[in-house]
Amino acid sequence: MARSRIGARQLAALLGEWESAEPVYAALGARIRLLLADGRLATHTRLPAERELADELGRSRTTIVAAYRALRESGHLISMRGSGSVLVLPPWLPGRTVLEVDFARSVPAPVAGLDEIVRAVAGRASTVLEHSGFDLIGQQRLRESIAARYTEHGAPTTPDQILITLGAQNAIALTARTVLRHGDRVLIESPTYPHAYEALGNAGGRLVSTPVTTTGWDIDHLVSAIERVRPELVYLIPDFHNPTGSSMHAEQRERVIASARRNGALVLIDETTADLDIDRPDSPPAFPSLTTTRDADTLVCVGSLSKTIWGGLRVGWIRAEPAMISRLITRRPADDLGTPVIEQLIATEVLERYDLLLTRRADQLRAGRDLLVSLLRTSLPDWRIPEVHGGLALWVELGAPLSSALASACQPRGVRITAGPRFGIDGARERFIRVPFTAGTDQLERGVSILREAWQSLDPVPIPGTQTPRHPML
């Protein structure tokens, strides 16, 4: 049974500039598959009736019927009389394209030395078995270690200001469900981390966006948006922003805190990427170091070890005032009963040697970034490659609104990559695509080679040294 239904107008907005050199029905089917693959359309969503979508798109019903038929044949759509047409993910079948390079996820390999820590912890894990294992707050020693790091960075913090979570995503969702009521306004960046705005929306938030680019924030727009919208919550990624890679200056951070205090907004700071510093010339102060006793309750920070250490280490945290931590603990059991204790032991040992591990991670990311920049500038010289000093990916400007078309062209060639519109709520950013530099050398080289090949099939501007590709319908 379909969990949700999308209207023709809403689907048309998601489709964007979907036409290509393919037959119209095939291009429409390909774009719907992409929207399903990258999460802009959820599985079990019921599509509009054929006539309804035909009227909205200005196409014949025959075209929509053919597109839906193609989706059924590829296993992406189930149609039942009286129930409409519902999107599904097809099972893998022999002969289908094998994924060679996954550019859809910015996921680095486990940091060097993690295996040693895991083995050491395993040898003494039995010491925790005398307890129940249910832990809503988090192990005392781990909370002390995280609090100490905040204190070292200029934000005096005690363990009762720390709550251990199942990663940063869990921390964002828990904060949203605790703070928001249905219909509350939430100010987010655009573009931003997709799963964050999903969590905020699922908690009932009405999302309003403010722009951020590879050159940073329009801080006047951000502050005026806080004044105008009067949001209940403001969600920001101020360090090595995902996906743009930008970092917010100290003065900008101070203006955000001051505006939030004046307007009664809670600022939710996502610090997941904050420690992924490769070669930033100067480090701005952490947000909590800029608050005073007067405005400390306007700030909640979330962090995680999934990007700095390993994605499989699902340990995150929330830093907030004790009163907010108490609210979060009260709300938590409805969704989960705590963070696994063994993983907390590993996280505690990780933090004991965190600076060394961060140096190793920075070395790995520096090599990946430098290689990816070189490959893209050589193979795709018309793309605009930003200068980034940290994070996990490049937010590349393509020069044409072909991001979704490029992602679709990459899929049958063995590369999965996320189109620009996935990072926003308004269907924009078709001129951008996120390319991670977290993969190994061979994967990066192969991935860029396939990107070049896919781009050739779409780009109306010829790549030097190649034949001119045919022009798509735009």
What lies within 8 Å, CB to CB, of 87 at 6+ separation is 32, 36, 41, 42, 43, 44, 45, 46, 47, 71, 76, 77
Predicted confidence band of residue 462 (pLDDT cuts 50, 70, 90): very low
The mean pLDDT of 291-310, rounded to a whole number, is 94
What are 53-84's pLDDT values in tens digits? 999 999 999 999 999 999 999 999 998 877 78
Q: Which amino acid is at 273?
A: T
Q: Is the residue at 467 inside a domain?
A: no
**One domain for residues 336 and 391:** no
Residue the block writes with tokens 């190994």:
440
**One domain for residues 121 and 268:** yes
CATH number of the CATH domain containing 285: 3.40.640.10
CATH number of the CATH domain containing 40: 1.10.10.10
**Distance between CA atoms of residues 391 and 270, nearest Å:** 13
Per the structure, the count of domains in the chain is: 3
Q: Which amino acid is at 75?
A: G
Confidence check: pLDDT of 131 > 80: no
**pLDDT value at residue 428:** 84
The mean pLDDT of 314-338, rounded to a whole number, is 96
User: Helix, strand or coil for residue 317?
Assistant: strand
- Domain containing residue 304: 116-354
**pLDDT value at residue 471:** 33
**One domain for residues 238 and 276:** yes
What are 342-360's pLDDT values in tens digits? 999 999 999 999 999 999 9
CATH number of the CATH domain containing 446: 3.90.1150.10
**One domain for residues 283 and 429:** no
**One domain for residues 133 and 272:** yes
Of residues 21 and 169, more confidence is placed in 169
Confidence check: pLDDT of 87 > 50: yes
What percentage of the chain exceeds 70 in pLDDT?
95
**pLDDT value at residue 427:** 77
Predicted confidence band of residue 126 (pLDDT cuts 50, 70, 90): confident
**One domain for residues 146 and 290:** yes
Last residue of a domain, one of 323, 354, 385: 354
**pLDDT value at residue 472:** 32
The pTM (predicted TM-score) of the whole model is 0.87
**pLDDT value at residue 93:** 52
Q: Is the residue at 43 inside a domain?
A: yes
Determine the angle formed by the axes of helices 167-179 and 194-202, rounding to 10 degrees.
30
**One domain for residues 388 and 259:** no
**One domain for residues 422 and 342:** no
**One domain for residues 143 and 79:** no
**pLDDT value at residue 446:** 98
Predicted confidence band of residue 212 (pLDDT cuts 50, 70, 90): very high
Q: What are phi and psi of 314, to 5 degrees?
A: -85, 70
C-beta neighbour count of 130 within 10 angstroms:
7
The mean pLDDT of 274-287, rounded to a whole number, is 95
**pLDDT value at residue 86:** 93
**One domain for residues 170 and 21:** no
What percentage of the chain exceeds 90 in pLDDT?
81
**pLDDT value at residue 272:** 98
**pLDDT value at residue 466:** 36
Q: Is the residue at 96 inside a domain?
A: no
**pLDDT value at residue 2:** 43
